[in-house]
A and B are shown apart, each in its own frame.
Chain A
Amino acid sequence: MIFVAVGTQFPFDRLIRCVDEWALAHGVEVVAQIAAGEYLPIHARYERFMTTEAFNQTLKAASLIISHAGMGNIITAIESSKPIIVMNRQYELGEHRNNHQADGLEWMAKLPGVYTAQTCEDLNALLDQHDSLTASGQVGIERRQNLINFLDQAIRA
Chain B
Amino acid sequence: MTAKCKVFAISSPGGHWIQLTRLCAGLEAKHEIVYALPDKLFRPKRAQKIYSVIDVSADDKWKLIPCAFQVGYILLKERPQVILSTGAAPGVVAIVLGKLLRIRTIWVDSIANVQKISRSGELVKNCADVFLTQWEHLSDQQQILFKGSVL
The secondary-structure label for the interface of chain A is helix
Contact, CB under 8 Å: A52 / B41: yes
Contact, CB under 8 Å: A156 / B1: yes
Chain B 1-35 near chain A by CB (<8 Å), digits 1 or 0 = 10101010000011111110011001100110000
Instruction: Kindly identify which residue among A75, A97, A98 contacts B150, using a CB–CB cutoff of 8 Å.
Output: A75
Residues of B contacting A76 with CB < 8 Å? 18
Chain B 51-81 interface residues, beta-carbon cutoff 8 Å to A: 57-59, 81
B149 sits at the interface (CB 8 A): yes
Q: A75-B150, A100-B112 are in contact. Are A155 and B7 (CB under 8 A)?
A: yes
Residues of A contacting B15 with CB < 8 Å? 7, 70-73, 75
Residues of B contacting A71 with CB < 8 Å? 14-16, 18-19, 110-112
Q: A8-B13, A8-B41, A52-B43 are in contact. Are A151 and B114 (CB under 8 A)?
A: no
Contact, CB under 8 Å: B43 / A143: no
Q: How far is the CA of A73 from the CA of B42 in the complex (A)?
A: 15
Q: A51-B43, A70-B14, A71-B19 are in contact. Are A9 and B57 (CB under 8 A)?
A: yes
Q: How far is the CA of A43 from the CA of B42 in the complex (A)?
A: 28
A49 sits at the interface (CB 8 A): yes
Chain A 103-125 interface residues, beta-carbon cutoff 8 Å to B: 103-104, 106-107, 111
A131 sits at the interface (CB 8 A): no
Q: A140-B149, A152-B27, A152-B30 are in contact. Are A49 and B41 (CB under 8 A)?
A: yes
Chain A interface, number of residues (Cβ within 8 angstroms)? 41
A1 sits at the interface (CB 8 A): no
Q: How far is the CA of A144 from the CA of B151 in the complex (A)?
A: 6
B97 sits at the interface (CB 8 A): no
Instruction: Kindly identify which residue among B5, B148, B151 contacts A75, using a CB–CB cutoff of 8 Å.
Output: B151
Contact, CB under 8 Å: B5 / A100: no
Residues of B contacting A7 with CB < 8 Å? 14-15
Q: How far is the CA of A51 from the CA of B40 in the complex (A)?
A: 8
Residues of A contacting B23 with CB < 8 Å? 144, 147-148, 151
Chain A 1-15 near chain B by CB (<8 Å), digits 1 or 0 = 000000111000000
- Interface pairs (24), CB distance under 8 Å: A7-B15, A50-B41, A52-B42, A71-B14, A71-B16, A71-B19, A72-B15, A72-B17, A97-B58, A100-B112, A103-B114, A140-B149, A140-B150, A143-B148, A145-B148, A146-B147, A147-B147, A147-B149, A151-B23, A151-B26, A151-B27, A152-B27, A155-B104, A157-B104
Chain B positions within 8 Å of A, measured between CB atoms, are 1, 3, 5, 7, 13-19, 22-23, 26-27, 30-31, 39, 41-43, 57-59, 81-82, 84, 104, 106, 108, 110-115, 118-119, 130, 132, 134, 147-151
